Chain A
Amino acid sequence: EVQLVESGGGLVQPGRSLKLSCAASGFTFSDYAMAWVRQAPKKGLEWVATIIYDGSSTYYRDSVKGRFTISRDNAKSTLYLQMDSLRSEDTATYYCARTAGTGPDYWGQGVMVTVSS
């Protein structure tokens, strides 16, 4: 059974950093691209970042470029999102998602990040 479990969320002050993790199991992690998607309170979903299967290429939405870094450790079957210079508008539930050629197929349950002083 495919499982994606996010962790590392919480309350953080504006301008500070936070690192999210997503532990994957039930599939060969190194075969898949992975992504982070977020949903702000009472707002729609936003694609944040993607990393291909071997980590050699990454993609970011414009609003997080230069502040967020997506990475992966295939030996540990874990996806990461390093979030620096956090802003109030980054407040959201963050989901990790496995991404196949047909788009994202499995998602985690999400982790909440609140940016507030």
Chain B
Amino acid sequence: DIQMTQSPSFLSASVGDRVTINCKASQNINRYLNWYQQKLGEAPKLLIYNANSLQTGIPSRFSGSGSGTDFTLTISSLQPEDVATYFCLQHNSWPYTFGAGTKLELK
């Protein structure tokens, strides 16, 4: 199975900060990497698909980059409503595998 190493596991930042979260795959997954946001008690929400494509309806402050094994999710200016857990998913090969998640809190 492809291992997804996500960092950091916890992040505290202030409103307006630029925030980055990383995922590293144990082998080449091309661009088959998605980012999700999950708020407490809610269903996960797709933010970015195929490494850098913004899902419809997601604010433009969210962006993704990377290919191969190294990927980054960036929030350009953190907003209070962005408090959530973020996780990555590789869908290059079966079984699809997830990063362990990053819990983002306001400082």
Name A residues whose Cβ lies closer than 8 Å to a Cβ of B: 4, 44-47, 50, 59, 61-62, 95, 102-110
Contact = CB atoms under 8 A, between A and B. Distances in A.
B55 A109 contact: no
- Name the prevailing secondary structure of the A interface residues: strand
Interface string B57-88: 00000000000000000000000000000010
Contacts of B101: 44-45
Given A95-B44, A104-B89, A45 B98 contact: yes
A44 B5 CA distance: 12
Most chain B CB atoms below 10 A, which of A44, A61, A62: A44
Interface residues of B, number: 23
A98 B101 CA distance: 21
Q: Which 7 A-B pairs have CB atoms at the shortest separation, nearest pair first? A: A103-B91, A45-B98, A102-B49, A107-B43, A47-B96, A107-B44, A109-B43
B43 A110 contact: yes
B60 to A, nearest CB: 19
Given A4-B43, A103-B50, A104-B91, 4 more contacts: A44-B101, A45-B87, A47-B97, A105-B55
- Name the prevailing secondary structure of the B interface residues: loop
Contacts of B55: 105
Contact of B95 (A47, A107, A109): A47
25 contacts: A44-B87, A44-B100, A45-B87, A45-B89, A45-B98, A45-B101, A47-B96, A47-B97, A47-B98, A50-B94, A59-B94, A61-B95, A62-B95, A95-B43, A102-B49, A103-B32, A103-B34, A103-B46, A103-B49, A103-B50, A103-B91, A104-B34, A104-B91, A105-B49, A110-B43
Nearest to A44: B100
